[in-house]
Amino acid sequence: MIKVKAKKDIVVFSLSGVLNESKHPDISFRDLENKKIELSGKDIVSWNTDFVVMLYNLLKRVPKENITYTDLPEGMKQLLNLAFQTPFKECENKSKKESFLERLGGYGIRFAQSVKRGCIFIRRCLHSWNRQLIGKAVYRKKDFWLVLSDCGPKAILIVSLISFMVGLILAFVGALQLKTFGAQIYVASLVTIGMTRIMGAIMTGIIMAGRTGASYAASIGTMQVNEELDALQTMGIPKTDFLVLPRMNALLLSMPILVLLSDIMGILGGCFVCVLCLEVPLSEYIKYTINSFDMTNFLVGVFHGVMFSLIIALCGCYFGIHCGRNADSVGTATTKAVVYAIVWMIIMTGFITLACEMVGI
């Protein structure tokens, strides 16, 4: 039970009996402002923290020196003393509402800063690349082999499966139209040209962005959280040498081979549909595949793969290195690495297609 007696400049809270309620007595902070508070608890039988929580929240704005305790149980007194040790201040409301123009300006500034950071990062990577050419880059060969095994042999299965399925889908979609003209044999040409020119590279790029680019961002981001990147910097080892070069080299080496694998698996997927579903003889499919295979298309596909490998490695490493220092930031860095890699791959495809169109290949 809690009884409140307000006198001229002192408010006495008489506490007694079993104190386990968390309901405020009928008194507000204004009634307590600039007054001394006396907490008297001669007849307290028992109390719990719910009651102390209520008492604290009622008195938290009263300065500590204005509160006196008389006959309070030792535990309650200590708990209140502990809670009142630091003067109360209202939580700062940091989520200031911004106007539309402020937000727009903010986006603009952040965009400009990120473009600048990106350009600086690419310049540093080019310097590292130059140092590598003259044999002065600092990185461990062991790291290169580890990364290579991760983005090469370990990616074969997933790249094969997805490319086979893409070849299969391409053949089915093509067959739906071509069958109406009795030209289902041209499915072989469609799949071969489609896979070798662009689809093989794009599918490999997307798989590798999701698999390897994400892994780069996450592993480098975790290094940032663990202050390993700071350690590299203080040792005078360029981050782009130590972290970017092995990853970029591994991807540059493995991507063209994976693109070739993807082309083959896609053509096999098409073959599967043609031979089993469209009743095209296997020999005919092989013949049309060979006829429609063009080395230029294949090389354009491989070139896409090389460019994609640069994009994936740069995005993964960039977002990893520029990751924040908490768990959330690693997740954000990973997401951004994948999304940006895919977006830049599509933009790059547009540029390459345009360039090929202009030079007539």
Partner 1 sequence: MNKDPIIRVKNLDIGYDRKTIMKNLSFEVQKGDIFIVMGGSGCGKSTLLRTLIGLIPAQNGQIYIQGIEMGRATAAQKLEIMKHSGILYQSGALFSSMTLAENVALPLQQYTNYSQNKIRDIVAFKLALVGLAGFGGYYPSEISGGMRKRAGLARALALDPEIVYFDEPSAGLDPVSSKNLDDLILEINKSLGTTIIVVTHELPSLFAIGKNSIFLDKTIQTISAKGNPKELLKNPPNEQVYEFLTRGASYEKRT
Q: Which residues bind partner 1 (CB under 8 A)?
A: 22, 49, 52-54, 56-57, 60, 74-76, 78-79, 82-94, 324-329
Q: Which two tokens stand for residue 122?
A: 């690419």
The nearer residue to partner 1, 222 or 353, going by C-beta atoms, is 222
Q: For residues 218 and 210, what is the distance between their CA atoms, to the nearest angstrom?
A: 12
The nearer residue to partner 1, 90 or 357, going by C-beta atoms, is 90
Amino acid (one-letter) located at 233? Q
Q: For residues 184 and 270, what is the distance between their CA atoms, to the nearest angstrom?
A: 11
The nearer residue to partner 1, 44 or 259, going by C-beta atoms, is 44
In the complex, the smallest distance separating the C-beta of residue 78 from partner 1, rounded to whole angstroms, is: 4
The nearer residue to partner 1, 37 or 201, going by C-beta atoms, is 37
The nearer residue to partner 1, 30 or 89, going by C-beta atoms, is 89
In the complex, the smallest distance separating the C-beta of residue 52 from partner 1, rounded to whole angstroms, is: 7
In the complex, the smallest distance separating the C-beta of residue 109 from partner 1, rounded to whole angstroms, is: 21
Q: Which two tokens stand for residue 190?
A: 């469609």
The nearer residue to partner 1, 17 or 324, going by C-beta atoms, is 324
In the complex, the smallest distance separating the C-beta of residue 224 from partner 1, rounded to whole angstroms, is: 13
Whose structure tokens read 């305790």?
A: 69
Q: Please, is 61 exposed, middle or buried when counting C-beta atoms within 10 Å of its C-beta (0-12, 13-18, 19+)?
A: middle
What distance lies between CA 169 and its chain's CA centroid? Answer: 30
Nearest to 124 by CA among 307, 316, 317, 255: 317
Nearest to 143 by CA among 276, 248, 57: 248
DSSP at 243: I
Q: Which two tokens stand for residue 336?
A: 């951004």
In the complex, the smallest distance separating the C-beta of residue 97 from partner 1, rounded to whole angstroms, is: 15
In the complex, the smallest distance separating the C-beta of residue 8 from partner 1, rounded to whole angstroms, is: 29
